[in-house]
């Protein structure tokens, strides 16, 4: 009986330490698009989330309507919400071959994202 417990422990430890799917990339994650630009490569990748990651994700669906001012001076002065700045990210996933991906084919590759972590606003020094 004790031998079976030892075998189960060894197998569990092996599975816990097994390699995660895909390769790891560090780079700039942009909300507009969205897009991922890996460090050291001058390509823009179209991210697609795998089904398990998409199942864990909460999507905010609140819509905000901003009334248009009636005069043009007020329209120029009105505040337009800005998108968040690019973020430094570590992404684990599988990349496609070079081609035309995403909307209008504007991305060199597609990455099937299995996991990603955002680490704050992107700075060029992050890629060194």
Q: Give the three-class secondary structure for 32.
A: coil
42 in a structural domain: yes
Q: Output the domain CATH number for residue 113.
A: 2.40.50
94 lies in some domain:
yes
Give the pLDDT of residue 31. 86
Structurally, the chain folds into a number of domains equal to 1
- In 3D space, the residue among 4, 1, 24, 2 whose CA is nearest the CA of residue 12 turns out to be 4
Per-residue pLDDT tens over the stretch 1-50:
445 444 444 444 444 455 567 899 999 999 888 999 999 999 999 999 98
Q: What is the pTM of this model?
A: 0.67
- Look at residue 88 and tell me if it is in a domain: yes
Tell me, yes or no, whether 35 lies in a domain. yes
pLDDT one-digit tens code per residue, 40-99:
999 999 999 988 876 776 666 666 666 666 666 665 666 666 778 999 999 999 999 999
Q: Which two tokens stand for residue 88?
A: 């430094």
Instruction: Give the Cα separation of 108 and 3 in Å (integer).
Output: 53
Q: Find the domain containing 107 and state its range.
A: 21-127
């Amino acid at each position: 009986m004790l031998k079976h417990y030892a075998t189960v422990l060894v197998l569990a430890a092996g599975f816990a330490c097994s390699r995660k799917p895909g390769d790891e990339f560090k780079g700039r994650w942009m909300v507009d698009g969205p897009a991922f630009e890996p460090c050291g490569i001058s390509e823009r990748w179209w991210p697609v989330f795998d089904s398990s990651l998409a199942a864990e994700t909460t999507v905010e669906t609140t819509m905000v309507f901003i009334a248009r001012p009636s005069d043009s001076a007020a329209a120029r002065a009105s505040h337009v919400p800005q998108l968040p700045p690019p973020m430094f990210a570590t992404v684990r996933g599988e990349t496609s071959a070079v081609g035309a991906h995403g909307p209008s084919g504007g991305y060199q590759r597609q990455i099937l994202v299995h996991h990603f972590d955002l680490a704050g606003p992107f700075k060029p020094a992050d890629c060194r």
